[in-house]
């Protein structure tokens, strides 16, 4: 079992950048397909980005494609989400999740979830 722990959220102005990190206690993250999801105020949680075990394949929601980059460092047992050109509509709680099977977009494919980190983008 693995427990993802997110960090790196905060308040940023529109057009700015943030990098979220997802570390893990328990098993090594290299065993898992990893994803980032987000829940905006008043909305359901949605897929943002995902990465396969080796890091060679990545997947993005259309709303973040070209602005966000997901990556992983298995040696450091950490997954990252680099967020550039942030917009107020990116304001959300961001969750890191681990899947023992192939994701990438369905929340039901993910077995383990972090508690989330708040990202607020001001206009």
Which tens digit of pLDDT belongs to each residue from 8-50?
999 999 999 999 999 987 778 888 999 999 999 999 999 999 9
Task: List Cβ<8 Å contacts ≥24 apart for 89-92.
Answer: 89/40, 89/63, 89/121, 90/38, 90/64, 90/119, 90/121, 91/40, 91/41, 91/119, 91/120, 91/121, 92/38, 92/39, 92/40, 92/41, 92/43, 92/118, 92/119
pLDDT band at 121 (very low <50, low <70, confident <90, very high): very high
Please tell me the predicted confidence (pLDDT) of residue 81. Answer: 98
What is the Cα–Cα distance from 41 to 72, expressed in whole angstroms?
28
* Cα-based distances in Å from 88 to 52, 67, 98, 99, 123: 29, 13, 27, 29, 6
Are 116 and 7 spatial neighbours (Cβ–Cβ below 8 Å)?
A: no
């Amino acid at each position: 079992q693995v427990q993802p722990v997110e960090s790196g959220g905060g308040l940023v102005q529109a057009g700015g950048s943030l990098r979220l990190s997802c570390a893990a206690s328990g098993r090594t993250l290299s065993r898992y397909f990893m994803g980032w999801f987000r829940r905006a105020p008043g909305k359901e949680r949605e897929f943002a980005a995902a990465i396969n075990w080796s890091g060679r394949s990545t997947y993005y929601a259309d709303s973040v494609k070209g602005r966000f980059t997901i990556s992983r460092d298995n040696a450091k047992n950490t997954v990252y989400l680099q967020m550039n050109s942030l917009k107020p509509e990116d304001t959300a709680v961001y969750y890191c999740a681990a899947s023992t099977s192939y994701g990438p977009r369905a929340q039901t494919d993910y077995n383990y979830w972090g508690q989330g980190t708040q990202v607020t983008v001001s206009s």
